[in-house]
Amino acid sequence: MSRNETDKTKETILEIKDLKVIYQTDAEVIEAVNHIDLNILRGRTLGLVGETGAGKTTTALSILRLLPEMTGKIRGGSIFFEGHNLLEVDENWMRALRGNAISMVFQDPMSSLNPVLTIGEQISEVIRLHEPDLPRREVEEKVDSTLNLVGIPASRKAEYPHQFSGGMKQRVVIAMAICCEPALLIADEPTTALDVTIQAQVLAMMSDLKHRLGTSMLMITHDLGIVAQTCDDVAVMYAGEIIEAGTVEDIFLNEQHHPYTTGLFQSIPDINKKSDRLKPIPGLMADPANLPKGCAFAPRCGQCREICTKEHPVLTAWGTHQLRCHLFASSEKEQERGAE
Amino acid sequence: MERAGKTPILKTEALEKLFKLKGGSKLYAVDKINLEIYPGETLGVVGESGCGKSTLGRTILKLLEPTGGKIYFDGQDITDYSPRAMRALRRDMQIVFQDPYSSIDPRKSVIETIAEYMFIHKVYKSKRETFEKAAELMEQVGLAQRFANSYPHELDGGRRQRIGIARAMSLNPRFIVCDEPVSALDVSIQAQILNLLMDLQDQFGLSYMFVTHDLSVVKHISDSIMVMYLGKCVEYAESEELFLHPVHPYTKALLSAIPRADLKYRGTPAQLIQGEVTSPIDVKPGCRFARRCPLCTDECSTKTPEWREISPGHFAACFCI
């Protein structure tokens, strides 16, 4: 696979179409991702927001085809990356791709490093795997320069993971992910395990790297603050579906939102205001093994109407802003009528 | 921090928790902390991992023996209480732990876990009454009855944390140490739990010590806030005041490091503080924040800054203010 063939004029780097993923166990079928469409544009960061169980990580694992072998099954759709459908290429091709053109940073840096290898060995492993002909000295040079990029002195490369703090470990994991200069970096809650001052350092480093290497990013997070500060585009996931998507301005500045997005915003305590009580979303996330008919959010929605429990809402779009809600589907029709 | 005419429900004087390590090293996890919590109020304790905030919570409840200083609960000195005397007091002072995975017995069902404390303290005469109360508590914390006979491994982190809260509430305590009770939860669930804790406070006049690393949460729930760094308290003020006029450089750094869910702040670089929390073992004299502090002077690395009142009710320990 040659990455030089990429067409620079093509805007979309990764295109997910109608992806459906299930987890099948003896007891039940869990519908983790339900027909989602996602586009990641070159050089931009897409924030995938949602709560636990929304299907964010499943989506990321599907891109890399790393779903648990026995249970996770992709039941349709396509994922196009640089002209290839990742769901159809063979495993060798995927192996060449992982860590090279697409790499991933996992949430917990403590468990994603090998405790018995030095961090230098772990980073060089990635390079040697993808560039087997590179002389040893150059591999080491590359390790040094990558470590410098993530803000770790190269002199520490002979140390073991336990000698690093959480923030430093996450930098090592990021170094492993970027050492082959991936076209797409998937970051799955990269700072959730870190302290707030360290999180600020790591986020600043990541956006600096993004500008320097021109990497596109899929940032998976539950923190709307991180989205506002680092992402260009946003997709909000709920119960395996994308219920709202758009640019970061669409999500943070537009007035119209999916009731779930509104609920998410009202759930965060606002530092600038003194409020007595938060307005949480009532109830719990829909059980993905037993999704309701119609809109999956309907049982928790304050604006639920009859149609919501019967019909699955379609996607309504205004320019870049997309919403999957009956409230707006009808208002658009009215708007159209008004225009006529 | 004195307030005339009121007895604080909990008060510490120069509370200290020293861990002696191998080779004679010393780790002051809690270093001369003075605090007061008044009935019906919430004290928020913020700081990064390793600053001693959880140790402080546990030392206050005497789950860890303090190595110096005094603890007063409702006016009485409980520092030297025996474990037996403490057990009786546990009805009044409870804790909700941080990690819902390890703080719950995996071999007990949900209802058994919640009922456990009530059995230990023999609150009700009959088993049935106890389980009825436990079921009521499940309702209160938003756990569906169908989970009563489930085991913790069948539940997600959020539901497990609800078990922990129900268990702490089961003895009708007056004071609860909440040790990062919402950090394992999703935002929409976190908001439910915060509201629940505030409702319980209004309903029963509870006092909380709310330990967290999340500043927006602490602002929301606390009446006053204490900022800790490496075992020391660096700043204390009323919640509003602290957020409006932070004076200590560490507090300022913490506040600016929060990613705000607002595009206004986009592109304005946070005032990053360099490095990471230094080792708390055998700390040298001087301000503990000095090595990361942008305002550090010679004085800071040799002398320990004194605790002083900056404005009424607002305390800080720093030379540069």
Interface membership of B195 toward A (CB under 8 Å):
yes
Return the percentage of chain A with pLDDT > 70, whole number.
Answer: 93
Query: How many Cβ atoms are within 10 Å of A87's Cβ, its own excluded?
Result: 16
Interface membership of B269 toward A (CB under 8 Å):
yes
Q: Which of A168, A195, A248 sits opposite B48 (nearest CB)?
A: A195
* A201-226 residues labelled b (16+ CB within 10 A) or e (exposed): bbbbbbbebbeeeebbbbbbbbbbbb
Element (H, E) at B83: helix B83-89
Residue B243, phi then psi, degrees to nearest 5: -75, -30
Interface membership of A200 toward B (CB under 8 Å):
yes
Interface membership of A54 toward B (CB under 8 Å):
no
Domains and CATH numbers, chain A: 10-101+180-339 (3.40.50.300), 112-174 (no CATH)
B chain contacts of residue A279, beta-carbon cutoff 8 Å: 191
Locate the domains of chain B by residue range.
1-83+179-184+206-259+270-321
Pairing of strands B76-77, B68-73: antiparallel
The per-residue pLDDT for A59 is: 95
- Residue ranges of E strands in chain B: 10-20, 26-37, 42-46, 68-73, 76-77, 93-96, 175-179, 207-212, 224-229, 232-238, 307-311, 314-317
Residues A275-294: tens digit of each pLDDT: 678 888 887 788 888 888 88
The per-residue pLDDT for A158 is: 94
Residue A180 has pLDDT above 60, yes or no: yes
Complex ipTM above 0.95?
no
Determine contact, residues B10/B207, Cβ cutoff 8 Å. Answer: yes
Reading the block at residue B194, the tokens are 């915060």
Reading the block at residue B249, the tokens are 């450089």
Contact B189 A222 (CB under 8 A): no
Q: What's CA B270's distance to the chain center, in Å? A: 26
Residue B81, phi then psi, degrees to nearest 5: -60, 145
Residues A24-81: tens digit of each pLDDT: 988 889 999 999 999 999 999 999 998 888 899 999 999 999 999 889 999 999 999 9
Mean pLDDT in order along chain B per 10 residues (321 residues): 75 93 88 92 90 91 93 93 91 87 89 94 92 91 87 82 89 92 80 86 91 88 93 92 92 88 77 76 85 86 89 91 78
Q: Which residues contact B95 (CB under 8 A, 6 or more apart)?
A: B57, B58, B61, B63, B168, B176, B177, B178, B179
Determine contact, residues B258/B215, Cβ cutoff 8 Å. Answer: yes
User: Does 3.40.50.300 match the CATH number of domain B1-83+179-184+206-259+270-321?
Assistant: yes
Of A295, A301, A300, A296, nearest to A326 by C-alpha is A295
pTM value is: 0.84
Residues found in chain A? 340
Contact A263 B188 (CB under 8 A): yes
Question: What are the beta bridge partners of residue A321?
Answer: A318
Chain B closest CA to A271's CA: distance in Å? 5
Interface membership of B88 toward A (CB under 8 Å):
no
